[in-house]
Amino acid sequence: MAKTFKYVILGGGVSAGYAAREFAKQGVKPGELAIISKEAVAPYERPALSKAYLFPESPARLPGFHVCVGSGGEKLLPEWYSEKGIELILSTEIVKADLAAKSLTSAGGETFNYEILLIATGSTVIRLSDFGVKGADAKNIFYLREVDDADKLYEAIKAKKNGKAVVVGGGYIGLELSAVLRLNNLDVTMVYPEPWCMPRLFTSGIAAFYEGYYAKKGVNIIKGTVAVGFTTNSDGEVKEVQLKDGRVLEADIVVVGVGGRPQTALFKGQVEEDKGGIKTDAFFKSSVPNVYAVGDVATFPLKLYNELRRVEHVDHSRKSAEQAVKAIKASEEGKTVEEYDYLPYFYSRSFELSWQFYGDNVGDTVLFGDSSPDSPKPKFGSYWIKDGKVVGAFLESGTPEENQAIAKVARVQPPVQNVDQLATEGLSFASKI
Ligand code: FAD
């Protein structure tokens, strides 16, 4: 028999949790709202998986990091949903969505009908087997997206004590995982094709600090080449990583972090798409009436830059979810809410390091502060300058006030007369704004 809800959130990740909290705040009646998730657990703060979840000592575990604890809010335990009469339909994968009929079908054959659908299916990892890399399905080659993946990696870390790990990919997942594997005392080698790590955000100056710091922590870095194949032992476990440049690395564990892809396949041909995501307006409403899309899957108007963008960061997943729910509830009362006016924000943490970035990383750059990896207390940042204005700011090891200051700079976009002076002023430029 079909189950019917007024509101269905498809996906049980970060956006789903923050949307549920907003629904509760705005008022939903018991039985009106359901979250349908492939995962077996209530929504949690996904960034923990590549950080504290894998710590050798006192690792983070659920229920410790359910949403909305990551942004300083109250933790939404599974009981919270039942108290509010919000149905958590877990371990349920939706395999068919019929947006015209307003119905979803699960792998188990159940049907769910809705009046309003909030698509929050997030991203899936890109796999090396997608490119036909030889041996990429060997045991102990891991990807990290969901808590189940993190559990498998954690078990392997314990089983391969003091072993060798190869991390494929030099993005933030590769950097965070290399750090945490090193903390677990594995011999870690990172491999990536680009000339420096995190090239989508980091300038060569920023990257030089992290590469130097990681080297000091004992992480080996091999740049400018890619993994083209894996060999296995008689148990089918990965044994070696073959690189394109001919080198061969021994490995007990391989972790791959080569990017993600928004999960929109269920809706192909039914809803307008753009830039790889579901196209929405400033209220996260899609081209189909009563269907909203939030988080990693949404391509939305980024007002500040007057451009459609898709953003795969946790802060946006939280805020877009809240915006969509506010817009849904307002429209029911014939009201409207303000347009989404997002300032891109992204952060990462590894070892004793912690950085934040706000704004847009386009135009010229200046590096300021102490970015020596040998410094006992490194603290540095970068500004991005476009059309004579500061449009982006990065800061390593900032205090909360300093991080607020760089956020303000990126929002206000103050003019810059003299770039050399900006480099000398450094953080004090931001603090004056
Ligand atoms: P998700 O949180 O991915 O949730 C999607 C949910 O939908 C999942 O529960 C999934 O199982 C479910 N789902 C998908 N398809 C179906 C289906 N067909 N049926 C049922 N359920 C389905 N961002 C930062 O800014 N800083 C960080 O430090 C950071 N660290 C990260 C570390 C890791 C390991 C990962 C994977 C991501 C990290 N991110 C970070 C990115 C951030 O977590 C995502 O941008 C955010 O989780 C997106 O939220 P979402 O709700 O759109 O998707």
For residues 216-239, average pLDDT:
97
**Distance between CA atoms of residues 359 and 183, nearest Å:** 32
Residue 123 Cα: closest atom of ligand 1: 3
In tens, the pLDDT along 12-68 reads 999 999 999 999 999 999 999 999 999 999 999 999 999 999 999 999 999 999 999
Burial class (CB in 10 A: 0-12, 13-18, 19+), 193: middle
Ligand 1 — pocket residues by CB below 6 A? 11-16, 36-39, 46-47, 49-50, 93-94, 120-123, 144-146, 173, 263, 266, 295-296, 312-315, 317, 346-348
DSSP letter, residue 58: S
What's the count of helices (H) and strands (E) in the chain, helices before strands? 9, 26
Which residue, among 359, 328, 332, has the nearest Cα to 346 in the 3D structure? 359
Task: Calculate the alpha carbon distances from 388 to 381, 384, 385, 418, 433 in Å.
Answer: 19, 10, 6, 9, 16
The DSSP H or E segment spanning 357 is: strand 353-359
| The token pair that represents 246 in the structure block | 């001919």
Complete edge-to-edge strand list for the sheet that includes strand 220-223: 141-142, 253-256, 164-168, 187-192, 220-223
Residue 13 Cα: closest atom of ligand 1: 4
**88 bridge partner residues:** 35
Residue nearest to atom 27 of ligand 1 (CA): 47
For residues 189-215, average pLDDT:
98
**Distance between CA atoms of residues 34 and 5, nearest Å:** 7
In tens, the pLDDT along 396-416 reads 999 999 999 999 999 999 999
What percentage of the chain has pLDDT greater than the value 70?
Answer: 100
**Distance between CA atoms of residues 44 and 50, nearest Å:** 13
Q: What is the pTM of this model?
A: 0.97
Confidence of residue 311 (pLDDT cuts 50, 70, 90): very high
- ipTM > 0.95, yes or no: yes
Residue 145 Cα: closest atom of ligand 1: 36
Kindly give, in sequence order, each residue whose CB lies less than 8 Å from that of residue 405, ignoring residues fewer than 6 positions away.
Answer: 427, 430, 431, 433
- Count of C-beta atoms within a 10 Å radius of residue 397: 18
DSSP letter, residue 60: -
- Count of C-beta atoms within a 10 Å radius of residue 303: 14
Q: How far is the CA of 162 from the centre of ligand 1 (A)?
A: 30
In tens, the pLDDT along 312-357 reads 999 999 999 999 999 999 999 999 999 999 999 999 999 999 999 9
Residue nearest to atom 39 of ligand 1 (CA): 47
| The token pair that represents 52 in the structure block | 């504290």
Residue nearest to atom 7 of ligand 1 (CA): 11
- Count of C-beta atoms within a 10 Å radius of residue 313: 18
Residue 43 Cα: closest atom of ligand 1: 9
3-state secondary structure of 140: coil
DSSP line for 95-131:
EEEETTTTEEEETTS-EEEEEEEEE---EEE--GGGG
